[in-house]
Structures are given as structure tokens and as C-alpha cells.
């Protein structure tokens, strides 16, 4: 029997397309990024507004603006 759940509906099934970006509308992604970069969730949201949602750009921005 096939399971027809779309990957976008099932967070357990990911193919890596969005691993390089932080979805500011997903609280769990913002929280994970905050833990990863040792900053607050608000700092992640502020950084996304300042430089976009690329993890690499976020990392560079936050290292200079903690």
C-alpha cells in the first residue's frame, strides 16, 4: 500500500532542498537556528529581516552582530 502524504506535509520526510534556508514562519526552525547559533529566536528573526534567510548569511551576520 502506498502512502500518498506529500513531503511538505510530513516534516519527517525531507529531501534537503530547504536545509540552507531558515523559514521564519516555522517556530521550530527559528528555535533550532537560535540554538544552533547560540542566540535568541528574536535575533534570528531580526537577522532574517536584515540579511535574508540563508543559513550561511545568517551565521556570518550573527557572528558580527551578537
Mind spelling out the 3-state secondary structure of 16-62? Answer: CCCCCECCCCCHHHHHHHHHHHCCCHHHHHHHHHHHCCEHHHHHHHH
Nearest to 24 by CA among 33, 14, 16, 15: 33
What is the structure's pLDDT at 9? 54
Q: Which of 7, 37, 11, 8 is nearest to 48 (CA)?
A: 37
The answer, as to whether pTM is greater than 0.75, is no
pLDDT tens digits along 11-65: 555 555 568 899 999 999 999 999 999 999 999 999 999 999 999 999 999 999 8
Amino acid at each position: 500500500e502506498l502512502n500518498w502524504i506529500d513531503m511538505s506535509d510530513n516534516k519527517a520526510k525531507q529531501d534537503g532542498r530547504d536545509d540552507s534556508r531558515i523559514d521564519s514562519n516555522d517556530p521550530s526552525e527559528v528555535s533550532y537556528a537560535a540554538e544552533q547559533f547560540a542566540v535568541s529566536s528574536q535575533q534570528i528573526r531580526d537577522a532574517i529581516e536584515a540579511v535574508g534567510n540563508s543559513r550561511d548569511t545568517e551565521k556570518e551576520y550573527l557572528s558580527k552582530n551578537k
